[in-house]
Structure 1
Amino acid sequence: MLDFISHPAGHVVAMHAGGVVTARELQRAIDAIEAAKRAHPRVSLVVEIDGLRWLTLTALLKDIGYGLTQLGDLEHYHRAAVVTDQEWVKHLSHLEEKLFKAVEVRTFPRRDHAAAMAWAGELPKGAHENPEDDGYHGA
């Protein structure tokens, strides 16, 4: 199961994953990320993972495929907050941070969900979102 979580910042795509994630659910997440990338110069993610057991095989392949396509497009990403108490997810997040150095990845325990949402909503120094034009104004 993968559901979206509302976030006050337009450049943040926030979601909750648990149980089994299907390829169809993962495609909705990819579509939301791509829409955010078209609307904003930098995109941040919040992924709350609670009781995630696995991705279906087609979801796993889709996730890997999408991840590989993003390697040349990392300048559109700013931060990724992973909210979880599952140790294996924390280890995977630290590995991703080492692999994708252009994206700042931080894990938060579930009790710090609000801090994760706030951190993901922060824009890079000098960047501002203007609700009138959604443009990038800064360094």
Structure 2
Amino acid sequence: MIELLPPGADHVVALRASGRVSADDLQEAIDAVETLKKTHDRISLYAEIDEMRWMTLSAILRDLGYGLTQIGDLAHYHRAAVVTDRHWVRPLATIESRLFKPLEVRVFDTHHKDAARQWVSQLPQAPQSAEPDRAAG
């Protein structure tokens, strides 16, 4: 099951995955991402992986298919915070962070949920202008 959570920032899609994840569950999350992409140049993702046991085959295929469609659209993504105590997630997150630049992926232990929410809520800073400091002259 995938449950949409309060995002904490208007550019964030937040969710919790637990139990069995079906293709319909996954589609709800995909729809939330696509809706947010229509109103924000950069979005971030917050995901709690709780007691997720498995994904159905149709969910795996939908996830893979959607992921492949996003390769040309990666400029829309900023950060992904994954909150879990499941150790198998860390290597996957590391691979995703390296493969899908500019998306930055970090894994947080469950007792660091607040830090994960704070990190994922930050948007990239606009470059500072190179105006000379008038007070120094």
* TM-score with structure 1 setting the length: 0.88
SS of corresponding position for 1:106: strand
- Report which stretch shifted further, 110-119 or 87-96: 87-96
Aligned to 1:131: none
1:44-59 alignment runs, 5 A limit: 44-59=44-59
CA contact under 8 A between 2:74 and 2:101: conserved in structure 1?
no
Q: Distance between the aligned counterparts of 2:15 and 2:29, measured in 1? A: 8
Letter in 2 for 1:11: H
Q: CA deviation at 1:8?
A: 2.6
Q: Which has the larger radius of gyration?
A: 2
Aligned to 1:4: 4
RMSD: 1.0
Q: CA deviation at 1:27?
A: 0.2
1:1-139 alignment runs, 5 A limit: 1-126=1-126
Letter in 2 for 1:34: E
Q: Distance between the aligned counterparts of 1:114 and 1:96, measured in 2? A: 23
Listed one character per residue, the Cα deviations across residues 34-85 of structure 1 (whole Å, up to 9, x for unaligned) are 0010011100000100121211000000000000000000000000000010
Structure 2 residue runs of 5 or longer lacking an equivalent are 128-137
SS of corresponding position for 2:95: helix
- Report which stretch shifted further, 50-59 or 25-34: 50-59
CA contact under 8 A between 1:84 and 1:90: conserved in structure 2?
no
* TM-score with structure 2 setting the length: 0.90
Letter in 1 for 2:18: G
